[in-house]
Amino acid sequence: MHSLRWHTPPERERGTEQAECFSSVELRLPARSSELKRARECVSEAATEFNFDPKASYEFVFAVNEAVTNAIKHGSPDRDGTIGLSIDAEGDSLVCSVFDCGPFVAPTTQADMKSDEGGRGFAFMSALTDDLELSVEPDATVVRLRKRRTAGALVRNA
């Protein structure tokens, strides 16, 4: 298995408590672009449950939406025609994995914000999360996005 990782330096203090009631989410989505909204709603609900502040929630939803879009656009669904999405709590972070059954398709264009082509997806994912990990096998691509909860979120939502 090949694994690539991008790390974004922490910009905020770590939260000191973990959301005790967070329930892990497992979702299978038909590999159709019309399902993107359902994926965003699922991630938004999870981020709210995990006490992300609204800005962090929007950023996480944006990043995951890019990963799901890539899986639908470039990946391969399973035999049921679906791709997978899971969301878990890890300490003070929310981790979302998006997986499909195809080989990784590298962007064909530079991640240039001035470009009018696609290819910005990974740049957004990296900029909007604390950790982006790409696991690539011949028959599976998994994008794992981790975003830390801001220290003040629990206090504000207490």
Is 64 in contact with 132 (CB distance < 8 Å)?
A: no
**Shortest distance in whole angstroms from residue 144 CB to other proteins:** 19
Which of 28, 3, 8, 2 has the alpha carbon at shortest distance from 125? 8
Binding site for other proteins (CB under 8 A): 33-34, 36-37, 40, 54-55, 58-59, 61-62, 65-66, 69, 72-73, 113-118, 120-121, 123-124, 127-128
Measured from the CB atom, is 91 or 118 closer to other proteins?
Answer: 118
Measured from the CB atom, is 91 or 119 closer to other proteins?
Answer: 119
**Shortest distance in whole angstroms from residue 157 CB to other proteins:** 18
**Shortest distance in whole angstroms from residue 66 CB to other proteins:** 6
Strands (E), 18-110: 25-30, 82-90, 93-100
Query: Cβ neighbours of residue 72 under 8 Å, at least 6 residues apart?
Result: 31, 32, 33, 35, 36, 83
**Shortest distance in whole angstroms from residue 25 CB to other proteins:** 19
In sequence order, what are the beta bridge partners of 2? 136
